[in-house]
Structure 1
Amino acid sequence: MPLRREPTLRQRRLGAEMRKMRERAGLGGSQLARELGLAPTQVTQMENGKIGVSAERLRTVAEACGCSNTPLIDALAEIAVERGKGWWEKYRGALSIDFLEIAELEASAHRISTWATTYIPGLQQTEAYAAAVFSRFAPSIPNHDLDARTAFRMQRQQEVRLRGAPYVSFIHEAALRMQFGGPRVLADQLASLNKDSLSGRLSVRVVPFDLDTFPGGGENIMFVEGPVPELATLQMDTAVGVMFFDSPAGLARHRAVFEHLDTVALAEAESREFIQSVEDEMRGKYA
């Protein structure tokens, strides 16, 4: 079987979870290979997502590692048997892998939470706002690339909403006021936020400037819950690109961030009033 050139995010995650099983059992790669009757290179390739793993092989690995976490094993077996391609595959080659992997992550989400400090989360951006966000890059990107990125972001929104996974969005006042495309674009974006909040499709909670503490770091983050707590993933936007985290310590730390946000952010009704006040202020700039 040829090695995969570019394992998908979930294929890599399956391999990473198998490596965690082995390490928790105190086994080296060569030791596990002997238990399974494989070459050590095959274990390495499985753990790197370079070769496929059947559900049967996954359960054999779990048994060899003494893993008795049945819900986790069952969830990993589901990943192992996945064969279909997602809607994002039509963009492969047209967009960077970062875009595709975010969509892949969202497609299996059981719950999504976002914390935005610099701009409105991608899953809630209007088309004009999204295009303005992408236009800020220097050097500027070609128009065809700009159009592809914007169209992809709009389809991400549609797909997530069709799946109906619970979604709560915490937005700092700084992100509500940061202008991309000017006050008119921002005002329309804020109106869209409140429309979504009223529709019940997602929960929008505002963290105002006058809060006496700033939860978490300064990056926009998305916390995606899987079918079991161990399969949660944190996605972070950084200056050097998109990053994904799944270490138990990192997940626990960011769960605590969202728990804190839930206690300090304005309630939904208060958040809508706050967003409306900023929208009115923006519309006053071009009235």
Structure 2
Amino acid sequence: MVNDHVSARQLLAQELRRLRLRTGLSGRELGRRASISQSKVSRIEAGTALPTVFEVEQWGRVLGAPVETVRSLAIITGNAHLEAHSWAAALSGGRHLQHVIGDWEAAASIVRTYQPSVVPGLVQTAEYARRVFSLFTPGYEDDALAAAVAGRVERQLALYEAGRKFEFLITEAALRWRPGPPHVLLAQLDRLLSISTLDNIDLGLIPLDGEALATYSHGFVIYEGEDESVATVEMIHGPLTLDSEDQVEIYRQRWALLREMAVHGDEARCLLDDLIGRLRRHAARDGGTA
């Protein structure tokens, strides 16, 4: 079970899937017997969800695995939870990170995204996204950068799917942050104005001069699905996935406080219009083009 070129998460996914296939049990039946939703069984085997040690032990017992095998799987699970994934590691597999995120979005009926420092990826223009990716450390090679931008733009098709709801909370500081010339940010703010009119999108903007009910902390996304919910947290070293109900509930509570701080609808569009006007005047004073 040792492979220096495979992360603990990937190794765990491979071994759990191999163990199930060896017994001939379907993912649905395994999930029923182990009290794990079928969708989570699929995501565990794909490596996009990380099971708890208890779930792995249940998995092994249901499939009649030897005690030594279950113990070994539990150790790998512990290593996977401790493993610090860098963005480079996230790109080292066969699928780009953007496609993994797309899987989470596809399984959710409601996606709630909070961003304190940058416009969320799901509503970024291609040029804004390219400049954001170019700031990552370690940096992207040209081909990887192009793939990252393409993957991000492809994900945005979900915004127009019937029956899907997307909620965004973005701080004013994130709207003012500029990863390039003024025209890049202007195009991005125009994009936000446009998507704010879609019926399935709730755009909340948190003004700098509003009364705080919570600290900004770090960005996070809550994927609310029919069977279960998942939260992802953006850290410097890479994304962390939280799928226990207790952990997700903590982020729901923070979301509720942040949402109270936000303006929505016409108020949000007025804030965007004000920021666009300021940026145009700033660009004109500096002799730039907007």
Normalized against structure 1, the TM-score is what?
Answer: 0.70
Q: Report what 1:278 is aligned to.
A: 275
Listed one character per residue, the Cα deviations across residues 179-202 of structure 1 (whole Å, up to 9, x for unaligned) are 012211111101110100113241
For residues 275 and 49 of structure 2, what CA distance do their matches in structure 1 show?
44
Residues 120-269 of structure 1: pairs in structure 2 closer than 5 A: 120-138=119-137, 140-162=139-161, 164-213=163-212, 215-228=214-227, 231-269=228-266
Question: Which residue of structure 2 aligns with residue 26 of structure 1?
Answer: none
Matches of 1:37 and 1:137, distance apart in 2: 45
Question: Relative to 1, partners in 2 of residues 1:36 and 1:236: Cα closer, same or farther, differing over 3 Å?
Answer: closer
**Percent of counterpart pairs with the same letter?**
24
The corresponding residue for 2:114 is 115
Gaps in structure 2 of 5+ consecutive residues: 1-10, 18-41, 78-90, 285-290
Aligned equivalents of 1:9, 1:122: Cα separation in 2: 22
Per the alignment, residue 14 of structure 2 pairs with 4
Amino acid at match of 1:171: I
CA distance in 2, matches of 1:145, 1:16: 29
- Counterpart for residue 40 of structure 1: 67
What do residues 11-63 of structure 1 show as CA deviations (whole Å, max 9, x unaligned)? 3577727935x9xxxxxx49x83x7644235656888999xxxxxxxxxxxxx
Residues 202, 264 of structure 2: 8 Å contact kept: no
Deviation of the 1:110 alpha carbon: 1.4
Alignment partners' CA distance in 2, 1:144 and 1:14: 27
Q: 3-state SS of the aligned residue for 1:131?
A: helix
8 Å CA contact 2:211, 2:261 repeated in 1:
no
CA distance in 1, matches of 2:75, 2:201: 35
Change (3 A) 1:238 1:37: closer
Is the CA contact (8 Å cut-off) linking 2:108 and 2:223 kept in structure 1? Answer: yes
Are 2:140 and 1:105 aligned? no
C-alpha contact (below 8 Å) 1:107/1:160 kept by paired residues: no
In structure 1, runs of 5+ residues without a counterpart are 23-28, 51-90
Shift of the alpha carbon at 1:258?
1.4
Tell me if structure 1 keeps the 8 A contact 2:112–2:166: yes
Q: Residue type of the partner of 1:99? A: Q
2:54 is matched with 19
Distance (Å, rounded) in 2 between the aligned partners of 1:9 and 1:36? 18
Q: Secondary structure at the match of 1:285?
A: helix
After TM superposition, the structure 1 stretch with the greater mean CA deviation from structure 2, 165-174 or 275-284, is: 275-284
User: Is residue 14–residue 47 contact of structure 1 (8 Å, CA) maintained in 2?
Assistant: no
Cα distance, 1:9 vs structure 2: 4.0
Give the drift of 1:126. Answer: 0.5
Distance in structure 2 (CA, Å) of the matches to 1:246 and 1:139: 28
Give the number of aligned pairs: 235
**Alpha-carbon contact 1:187-1:280 (below 8 Å) kept:** no
Distance 1:49 1:137, change over 3 A: closer
CA RMSD, 1 decimal: 3.4
What does the per-residue CA deviation read over 1:224-262, in whole Å, with 9 as the maximum and x for residues that have no partner?
Answer: 11114xx21111111111111123332111111111223
